[in-house]
């Protein structure tokens, strides 16, 4: 039992109840399909949560490879044509003296996606093999992955803005490269992956309830 006296000491699932994700109404587990109050679909745990998490994560991971290999931005000017990948773009920024912005782009395009792959895979593995890990630290990790994923879209918007703005004909033209497509796909699918992972599963493995 918990120390505070306003809890029942069990989960809703253990009490045979399921919570509506939207309005929070509780239902008897076996009786419902949709919420008696708001009509949303009611489930105790997200269906096939781990399978969906893995599926979306793998697609995100696969898309992240071409995202880094292909150029995300093509620049053509009088002095010749150049192309930038995610990584070379960061290096160029850092070399031109904009170290802070280089760090922002590095965090959004490299650090966040990579750590997301690692964290989600780690969480899913820990659930699958029932590793003995603190629920609280896993809970924090899950909250972080849900919150930070969207920030990876920065690079996509940078390319869109530059491609729209820099259309000076022969003098200087910037066009989006194939890599940005793959990168956006990767971000979207890892966002799906993070939301597919039901945080309640983290606590379900706790032995003493």
| Distance in Å, CB of 83 to other proteins, minimum | 14
Count how many Cα atoms sit within 13 Å of the Cα of residue 180 in the half-sphere of its side chain. Answer: 20
Nearer to other proteins, 11 or 115 (CB): 11
Nearer to other proteins, 40 or 118 (CB): 40
Nearer to other proteins, 129 or 165 (CB): 165
Separation between Cα atoms, residue 154 and residue 67, nearest integer Å: 14
| Distance in Å, CB of 61 to other proteins, minimum | 19
| Distance in Å, CB of 14 to other proteins, minimum | 6
Separation between Cα atoms, residue 1 and residue 176, nearest integer Å: 57
| Distance in Å, CB of 32 to other proteins, minimum | 11
Largest Cα span, the chain? 74
Answer positive or negative: Cα dihedral of 203, 152, 188, 70.
Answer: negative
One DSSP character per residue, 148-203 reads HGGGGGHHHHHHHHHHHH-B-TTSEEEEE-HHHHHHHHHHHHHHHHHHHS-THHHH
Nearer to other proteins, 124 or 149 (CB): 149
């Amino acid at each position: 039992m918990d120390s505070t006296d306003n809890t029942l000491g069990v989960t809703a699932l253990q009490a045979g109840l399921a919570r509506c994700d939207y309005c929070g109404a509780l239902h008897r587990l076996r009786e419902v399909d949709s919420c008696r109050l708001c009509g949303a679909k009611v489930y105790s745990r997200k269906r096939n949560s781990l399978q969906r998490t893995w599926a979306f994560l793998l697609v995100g991971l696969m898309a992240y490879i071409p995202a880094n290999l292909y150029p995300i931005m093509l620049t053509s000017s009088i002095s010749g044509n150049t192309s930038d990948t995610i990584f070379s773009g960061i290096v160029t920024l850092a070399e031109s003296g904009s170290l802070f912005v280089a760090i922002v782009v590095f965090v959004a395009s490299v650090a966040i996606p990579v750590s997301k792959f690692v964290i989600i895979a780690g969480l899913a593995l820990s659930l699958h093999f029932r590793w003995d890990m603190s629920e609280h630290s896993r809970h924090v990790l899950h909250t972080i992955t849900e919150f930070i994923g969207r920030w990876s879209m920065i690079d996509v918007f940078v390319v869109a803005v530059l491609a729209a703005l820099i259309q000076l004909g022969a003098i200087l033209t910037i066009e989006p490269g194939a890599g940005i497509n793959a990168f956006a796909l990767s971000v979207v699918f890892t966002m799906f992956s993070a939301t597919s992972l039901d945080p309640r599963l983290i606590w379900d493995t706790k032995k003493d309830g």
